Amino acid sequence: MDNTTEKTGMPLLGDAFPEMEVQTTRGSLKLPEHFSGKWFVLFSHPADFTPVCTTEFVAFQKRYDQFKDLNCELIGLSVDQVFAHIKWEQWIKENMDVEIKFPIIADTGSVAKKLGLIHPGKGSNTVRAVFVVDGKGIIRTILYYPQELGRNMDEIVRIVRAMQIADKDKVAMPANWPNNELVDDHVIIPPATDVKTAEDRLKKAKDGEFECFDWWLCHKKR
């Protein structure tokens, strides 16, 4: 008897994004393979032709160039037929003068189930989830919102930008970066894990390489 079971439910941070083939408004795509070498943001919405979701799609599209400048793509998802997605895109273009240029997954429920997106007590509606996936197909950030709350797209742009800088420079990002109340637009040096490194941190602070409140809280200009 085979006791192995397929993993279901929401993936965790650091997991590889599950491999899947999806039907979208831009044809059939294989994820995460289609975005290989690029970051991507997969975001789910409860349903087409709903007011909050419409404001979100317009907001995502208006920032699409910002995402692309970060080598990051967008892909939406809801448990709706592709025909509904297409008609909704047309409605947005005709009535809002905004052309949606990123693909939207038409899900039968299988993708939402695999990603843990079905809203408890809301039938087949998906939650407002956001998965930020890096160029190696690894899930780096997960956000969940209730149906009643539209997302802040500038925060999602900030997440992608901040995570890319953290990876490149081997640093951490303070709260509200780049407008932190203590260190402004500086980045955080990872805490020392041994005595020698802690002593070196304070020496580098005296030499002007870092600024430190103490050996465990150092920051620098990028």
Query: Which residues does the annotation mark as catalytic?
Result: 53
Contacts for 215 with CB less than 8 Å, ≥ 6 apart? 192, 198, 199, 201, 202
CA-based nearest residue to 127, from 186, 32, 47? 47
Angle (deg, nearest 10), helices 51-62 and 153-169 = 40
Tokens read off for 187: 């980045």
Query: 211 and 218 in contact (C-beta within 8 Å)?
Result: yes
Alpha helices in 17-127 (DSSP H): 51-62, 64-69, 82-96, 110-115
**Distance between CA atoms of residues 218 and 202, nearest Å:** 9
